[in-house]
Homo-oligomer: A and B are copies of this chain.
């Protein structure tokens, strides 16, 4: 069992840290809003620290799951960041979805102190975090990955090293681009079918057996038809991820015409105040086509 610090107790981090504790690791948590860390300790046990550095003191592994690139820079390399406290031989595992650039920027800063850095964004959502069955897409050195892997296993079903630093984040971006396209096609298909007067339950039952099948169809078509979005992956989070994707595409030259269009649709959903609605609310853009 390992001594670990967990930085960031949001919707994802809160249950992930709990799984680490239940797996037998010694867990010290830090959260920007202290009340949430206090609640976590009351619920789980473990310890709470007043800064990322204090949480990391003596830790073999630091897990981060914060908001964005700048939040990550602050908790890793900031004045009270974990790097000020970590001993050589420890490993930072970052579960935030960030740009690939920040992973490539922090990995050498960590390496200069003998600390490993693995970018490790997850998929599987809040339910995956709660049930400890996340998918973890990793970038970094094999040595650091293989040390962290058995610890990550406390909350993950699938943990894969894709390539060097940044490769985990880039894989997550591919994931989000694929999801955006699937959802848009599904949304257009559903609205078309509803306008045509079809019994969509029957339609989905039959077409989900074939080449149109997708996870989104299996898990979101029914709620999209009913207009239910109070669950899942929020529009705000998707918009953040697509921003990272489009920014990276300007660097690598990949043309993303439909992803760009869909990013605009998500911007419109935000303007409509649907910030916390599930990403599948994309279909609502088609139901108010004056907004296209």
| Measured CA separation A206–B253 after assembly (Å) | 24
Neighbour of A185 across the interface among B124, B179, B289, CB < 8 A: B179
Size category of the A interface is 35 or more
Neighbour of A184 across the interface among B206, B209, B258, CB < 8 A: B258
In the assembled complex, A214 has its CB within 8 A of some CB on chain B: yes
Nearest chain B CB to A183 CB, angstrom units:
8
Chain A at the B interface: mostly helix, strand, loop or mixed? helix
Give the chain B neighbours of A212 by CB distance below 8 A: 123, 174-176, 178-179, 182, 215
Q: Which of A125, A192, A217 has the most CB of B within 10 A?
A: A192
| Contact mask for chain A residues 146-185; partner B; CB cutoff 8 A; 1 contact, 0 none | 0000000000011010110001001101111111111111
In the assembled complex, A188 has its CB within 8 A of some CB on chain B: yes
Give the chain B neighbours of A286 by CB distance below 8 A: 254-255
Q: A158-B209, A184-B181 are in contact. Are A252 and B198 (CB under 8 A)?
A: no
Could you list 17 A-B pairs, sorted by A, with CB under 8 Å? A123-B210, A158-B206, A160-B206, A163-B199, A174-B198, A178-B188, A179-B211, A180-B185, A181-B183, A181-B185, A192-B248, A194-B254, A195-B254, A211-B215, A255-B289, A258-B258, A258-B262
